[in-house]
Amino acid sequence: MAKDLIGRHSVALMPLISHANGKDDKTEIKSIISTQFKYYYYIAIFVSFCFLFNFHKLIDAWTGPGKFAGNDIMYLLIGNFFIGLIGYFMQNMGYALGDIKMNSFISIFKGVVTGILFYFGSKTYGVMGVLFVMVAASFCIDFIFFGYRLYQLGYLNTTFIMGVLKKWVVVIPLAAAVGWLLSYLFATVVPSKMLLIYIGLNGLSFTVLFVGILLVLDRELRNQLRSLVKI
């Protein structure tokens, strides 16, 4: 549900990209992609960590104790969630730019290959095999290929990609450290049966600190917030 909700952001951008492409305004297209992709991956990182540091309590609160499938399964699901969202953004930008034939071909190719690998993965390794195939397919096809297609079309460049990776290298470890510390703190302070209290406190505290990290590290985001406050 969260993946579909976040992914709608990239779908909503498609008419803007198509309009700018119709005007042959490459500068506007690059500006839209670079600005909106930043907001998109910030949200994807935030939600991924919210799940990462709350999934055990969420499952206990939703289905009751003893229904937890295990950390490895959840880690793979969250990894697939994040990688799939990034690839979905790139895929939708390609569609909006008119790269429909290639995108459709790759989507069909991915369906056929993953279907075959699902059979062998599930037969040999069960659920873990299926999840490994999902993550590998999302990374190799959605994440890498659709990003490379935008690069081929001239709307991504090395500077942009390195800028994104530099932010991830800083934001992701900081958010992980903050999330782990908060989870440890509230697990110590909040009684184990008070699941909703734990989830609420942990989620709210992480939200405030995550936004603080972004505002400290991202000057453009700070300037945009100041302009909104002035308005």
In eight-state DSSP terms, residue 217 is H
Angstrom distances, CA of residue 112 to CA of 69, 106, 119, 205: 28, 10, 11, 43
Give per-residue pLDDT as tens, 26-85. 888 888 898 899 999 999 999 999 999 998 888 888 887 777 777 888 899 999 999 999
Tell me if 29 sits within 8 A of 155, measured CB to CB.
yes
Count of the separate structural domains present in the chain: 1
Residue 57: per-residue pLDDT:
86
Rounded to whole angstroms, the Cα distance separating 189 from 180 reads 14
Smallest CA-to-CA distance from 149 within 83, 80, 81, 96 is with 96
Q: Which helix (H) or strand (E) holds 12?
A: helix 2-22
What pTM, to 2 d.p., does this model score? Answer: 0.90
What is the residue range of 37's domain?
2-230
pLDDT, tens only, 181-227: 999 999 899 988 888 899 999 999 999 999 999 999 988 888 888 88
- Which of 58-62, 97-101, 108-112 tops mean pLDDT? 108-112
